[in-house]
């Protein structure tokens, strides 16, 4: 997908290149992005919109989950009001304008548009809301980049079994058809899903995310299967019915964590590979590999463990040849969310009688305590892992176009967020290293535009380039230092080379800030 018109960009870059970037007098310290490279920032509906029961919106699984089990969220908060973007979207657009982003990645709330999940029952206020948002973005030349599903299933569909019931494929296809018809005349960049692995592992395998089914080794694989088939159907729907007329592109976002072997032993190397195959490979392999289907190591291990446990067939559902074919290549680009790395160690375990994803993967995966990390305990700062991960994608999947749909850093708050600036700088440098190695990365998205409802962490961990005052009824938003840093990156389409010997973020005094 080409997010940017080259000629306009070239013109802007020429004008801006007379300005110097932050702290450097040495041209060699400045690394330029390709001319058609695009920058953006991301949010998701449940995390920012609020207005959970306003103007005809139906209940979704996160509404229900957090209302019923307030203790799953660390500060017992919820997304009832969140950033109140349902009412404050003008300010959101203004912030995007301040940043100068090329695009804004946001998600549609299925139950705001279709309160029961079905196209038989449309909520026109919901349609108006997204029309206003999309039109407002376009008015300011900000490209809307729309995620169709970011975790908030209409509750009625969950009552039918959610992603474990194959009927969900029909509902998802109808919903996607509806949004292409409503918004596709102006939206040309689509993502079917955000992070299938999290939806299925955390929501169906564990209790960390809604709907909290806690059926590890069974519910997670059923969810993944229907989700992949739903994705393929919507890709082909777009391809056949909308692509020519709407001239857009459609992909999927998958999160990738780099897994670093504990030692140079073959066993640890295999454990790290197995970890990555069970996590992102579960969804990348069927769509992006030449051969298609689930990763071989997943198929083998789950089949063996299922047999030992007395199942008559594998707990991992099988694709037909036709389904493998439909899934292969069903994405115009790979949306990659990259945050961090983990360590992997080989372990010898006896398969327990209970089905379990962990047993199936059979990897001891842990956070290396010597790596720096963000406020979120899982979020280690490993830009080298980002570089490695991009190389892995290039080599494994025949070098697809990649858009970084999320990358970001959490703090406990405060406007001077030097650590976030450093994180973004390091990851942009790693991204440029990967491009140098031949990766086709065309866009970079910061998670997030502003602080928001961070799922089970509530409002405690803050990912925003804008701080949001959750005590203020109008949810006032204030730019952090990182917003100002990102403005410079976008304006100059360049980033300073990171060198711990002399790099000082505090030196950024020459930049033109808002
Ligand atoms: C993204 O997931 C999401 O797309 C976005 O909605 C979210 O706000 C953002 O990251 C920041 O978290 O607490 O140890 O159980 C990134 C992948 C998946 C990482 C869930 C954290 C929970 C780890 N995330 N995971 S733990």
What is the predicted pLDDT for the residue at 508?
34
Calpha distance 469→477 (Å, rounded): 7
Do the domain assignments include residue 365? yes
Q: How far is the CA of 328 from the centre of ligand 1 (A)?
A: 27
Q: Which domain holds residue 37?
A: 30-502
Domain total for the chain? 1
Q: How far is the CA of 198 from the centre of ligand 1 (A)?
A: 8
Q: How far is the CA of 267 from the centre of ligand 1 (A)?
A: 28
Residues with beta carbon inside 6 Å of ligand 1? 44, 194-195, 198, 208, 255, 337, 339, 378, 406, 447, 454, 463
Atom 23 (ligand 1) nearest CA: 378
Cβ-based burial of 26 (10 A; exposed 0-12, middle 13-18, buried ≥19): exposed
Atom number of ligand 1 nearest to Cα 456: 13
Atom number of ligand 1 nearest to Cα 195: 4
Mind telling me the catalytic residues?
195, 406
Q: How far is the CA of 339 from the centre of ligand 1 (A)?
A: 9
Atom 17 (ligand 1) nearest CA: 255
Do the domain assignments include residue 332? yes
Mutate to test the pocket of ligand 1, among 207, 337, 380, 386 (most ligand atoms within 8 A of CB): 337
Do the domain assignments include residue 415? yes
Q: How far is the CA of 290 from the centre of ligand 1 (A)?
A: 29
Q: Is the dihedral of CA 265, 269, 274, 279 positive or negative?
A: positive
Angle between helices 296-308 and 266-276 (to 10 degrees): 90
Atom number of ligand 1 nearest to Cα 208: 15
Do the domain assignments include residue 25? no
Do the domain assignments include residue 1? no
Atom number of ligand 1 nearest to Cα 151: 6
Atom 11 (ligand 1) nearest CA: 454
Do the domain assignments include residue 430? yes
Helix %, strand %, coil % of the chain (to 5): 45, 15, 40
Q: How far is the CA of 202 from the centre of ligand 1 (A)?
A: 10
In contact, 198 and 144? CB cutoff 8 Å: no
Do the domain assignments include residue 508? no
Full-model pTM: 0.93
Q: How far is the CA of 402 from the centre of ligand 1 (A)?
A: 20
In contact, 457 and 48? CB cutoff 8 Å: no
Residue in 253, 246, 260 with CA at minimum distance from that of residue 197: 253
Check which CATH number belongs to the domain holding 199 and give it: 3.20.20.80
What is the predicted pLDDT for the residue at 498?
66
Atom 8 (ligand 1) nearest CA: 454
pLDDT along the chain (514 residues), means of 10: 51 36 54 98 99 98 98 98 98 98 99 98 98 99 99 98 98 99 98 98 98 98 99 99 98 98 97 98 99 98 97 98 98 98 92 94 95 96 97 98 99 96 95 98 99 98 98 98 95 81 36 26
Do the domain assignments include residue 7? no
Atom 18 (ligand 1) nearest CA: 198
Q: Residue 180 — φ and ψ, nearest 5°? A: -65, -40
Calpha distance 342→276 (Å, rounded): 10
In contact, 41 and 466? CB cutoff 8 Å: no
Mutate to test the pocket of ligand 1, among 194, 197, 406, 458 (most ligand atoms within 8 A of CB): 406
Atom number of ligand 1 nearest to Cα 378: 14
């Amino acid at each position: 997908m080409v997010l940017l018109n080259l000629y306009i960009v070239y013109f802007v870059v020429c004008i801006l290149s007379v300005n110097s970037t932050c702290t450097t007098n040495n041209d060699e310290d400045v690394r330029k992005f390709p001319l058609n490279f695009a920058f953006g920032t991301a949010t998701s509906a449940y995390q920012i919109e609020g207005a959970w029961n306003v103007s005809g919106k139906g209940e979704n699984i996160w509404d229900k989950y957090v209302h019923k089990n307030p203790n799953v969220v660390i500060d017992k908060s919820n997304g009832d009001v969140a950033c109140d973007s349902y009412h404050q979207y003008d300010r959101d657009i203004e912030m995007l304008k301040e940043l100068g982003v090329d695009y804004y990645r946001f998600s549609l709330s299925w139950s705001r548009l279709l309160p029961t999940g079905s196209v038989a029952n449309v909520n026109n206020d919901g349609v108006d809301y997204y029309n206003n948002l999309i039109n407002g973005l376009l008015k300011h030349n900000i490209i809307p980049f729309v995620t169709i599903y970011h975790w908030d299933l209409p509750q009625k569909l969950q009552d039918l079994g959610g992603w474990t019931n194959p009927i969900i494929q029909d509902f998802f296809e109808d919903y996607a058809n509806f949004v292409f018809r409503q918004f596709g005349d102006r939206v040309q960049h689509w993502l079917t899903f955000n992070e299938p692995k999290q939806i299925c592992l955390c929501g169906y395998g564990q209790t960390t995310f809604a709907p909290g089914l806690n059926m590890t080794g069974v519910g997670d694989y059923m969810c993944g299967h229907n989700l992949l088939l739903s994705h393929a159907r919507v890709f082909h729907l777009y391809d056949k019915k909308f692509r020519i007329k709407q001239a857009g592109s459609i992909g999927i976002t998958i999160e990738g964590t780099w897994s670093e072997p504990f030692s140079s032993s073959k066993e640890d190397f295999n454990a790290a590979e197995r970890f990555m195959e069970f996590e992102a490979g579960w969804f990348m392999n069927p769509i992006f590999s030449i051969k298609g289907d689930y990763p071989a190591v997943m198929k083998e291990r789950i089949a063996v463990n299922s047999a030992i446990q007395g199942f008559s067939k594998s707990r991992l559902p099988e694709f037909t040849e036709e389904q493998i074919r439909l899934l292969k290549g069903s994405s115009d680009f790979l949306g990659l969310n990259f945050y961090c790395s983990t360590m992997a160690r080989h372990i010898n375990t006896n398969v327990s009688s209970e089905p379990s994803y962990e047993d199936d993967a059979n990897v001891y995966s842990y956070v290396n305590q010597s790596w720096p990390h963000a406020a979120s305990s899982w979020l280690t700062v490993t830009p080298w892992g980002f570089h490695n991960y991009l190389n892995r994608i290039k080599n494994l999947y025949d070098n697809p176009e990649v858009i970084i749909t999320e990358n970001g850093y959490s703090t406990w708050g405060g406007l001077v967020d030097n650590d976030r600036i450093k994180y973004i700088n390091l990851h942009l440098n790693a991204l440029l290293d990967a491009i140098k190695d031949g990766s086709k990365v065309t866009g970079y998205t910061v998670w997030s535009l502003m602080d928001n409802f961070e799922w089970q962490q509530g409002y405690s961990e803050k990912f925003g380039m804008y701080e949001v005052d959750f005590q203020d009824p109008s949810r006032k938003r204030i730019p952090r230092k990182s917003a100002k840093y990102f403005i410079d990156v976008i304006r100059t389409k360049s980033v300073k080379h990171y060198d711990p010997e002399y790099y000082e973020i505090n030196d950024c005094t020459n930049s033109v800030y808002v």
